[in-house]
Amino acid sequence: MKAYTATGVPAWEAKGLIRHTPPESVPITFRLSSLGARFGAQMLDLTFTYGGVILLLVAVAWLGIFSWNGLFTFYALITFFMRVPYYILSEMVWNGRTLGKRILGIRVISLDGRRLTPHQIVARNLMKEVEVFLPMGAIMGGADLGWIPGLILAGWMLATVLVPVFNKKKQRLGDMVAGTIVVDNPKPQLLPDLTVQAAALGYESGPGIWASTAATNCRCWRRSCACRRRRPRRAGMSPRSPRPSAAASAMTRSCRKAANGIS
């Protein structure tokens, strides 16, 4: 994947465009997702995962199954075993998207132009644990680390968080290891309907014996087709048929070709 400047696009808008070439050799243009969108998606995912953890923790504490020390250990274990499967399974099922990514319209794609593999998804999400969550748990978990190990872990977290800021493709360490990148989810843009487009030009549409020819606003019967164009009648003018335009003639020819191909 190579960053490029699209022709005719302003420099500020073309910045962050990525040309993605899949195995079919048809290049597709993506836009790198902003750091704000990625941060927002991460916050939403943490809300979903930790919301479930807190509800489960409250239920266990209300039942009185564990002591306070056992409850803290249970919290650490259930947080890990809910967070990691959530990220991995959601990106596998939704092809590189978690709930937070779906809401904010971003997704993970592979750098080699192929479909995301389970190896890539597992690698990038396990690296997320190494980058942020495990050091944060060690610092905030009340372990007696001392100020030097705590400072080292805090510096490690800060460095890993700043990696996407200075990386050209906004990749974090997990993306570099897995060979992935986060982009804006492309929105499908449909071309205007032929019927609406022809009606705007003033063509009449009549009933035909084939749906494909009716979509071209031509009246066809067996092997004869005709396209007509409405023109407003002015006061004092005779209702004389106008000369067909070049567009009407082209539509007539395409309609006749379609009719000749059907017995």
Instruction: Tell me the C-alpha distance between 177 and 249, whole Å.
Output: 59
Strand, helix or coil for residue 91: helix
Say what the pLDDT of residue 150 is: 83
Say what the pLDDT of residue 201 is: 54
Instruction: Tell me the C-alpha distance between 150 and 219, whole Å.
Output: 79
> What is the separation, in whole angstroms, between the first and last Cα of the chain?
48
Say what the pLDDT of residue 215 is: 40
Say what the pLDDT of residue 205 is: 46
Instruction: Tell me the C-alpha distance between 87 and 97, whole Å.
Output: 9
Task: Output the six-digit token pair for 43.
Answer: 């916050």
Say what the pLDDT of residue 61 is: 84
DSSP output for 194-212:
HHHHHHHHTB-----SSHH
4 Rama class: left (phi>0) / alpha (psi -120 to 50) / beta: beta
Say what the pLDDT of residue 199 is: 56
Contact criterion met (CB below 8 Å) for 198 and 205: yes
Task: Output the six-digit token pair for 120.
Answer: 């890539």
Task: Output the six-digit token pair for 50.
Answer: 């930790």
Say what the pLDDT of residue 27 is: 77
Backbone angles phi, psi at 108, to 5 degrees: -100, 135
Say what the pLDDT of residue 257 is: 60
Instruction: Tell me the C-alpha distance between 128 and 114, whole Å.
Output: 22
Task: Output the six-digit token pair for 103.
Answer: 């809401």
Per-residue pLDDT of the chain (263 residues; tens, 9 = 90+): 554 454 555 554 566 788 777 777 777 888 899 999 999 999 999 999 998 888 888 888 888 887 777 787 888 888 888 899 999 999 999 999 999 999 999 999 998 878 899 999 999 999 999 998 888 888 776 556 778 888 888 899 999 999 999 998 899 999 999 999 999 987 766 555 555 555 555 544 444 433 333 344 445 444 445 554 444 444 444 445 455 556 556 666 665 665 555 44
Say what the pLDDT of residue 4 is: 47
Instruction: Tell me the C-alpha distance between 209 and 202, whole Å.
Output: 22
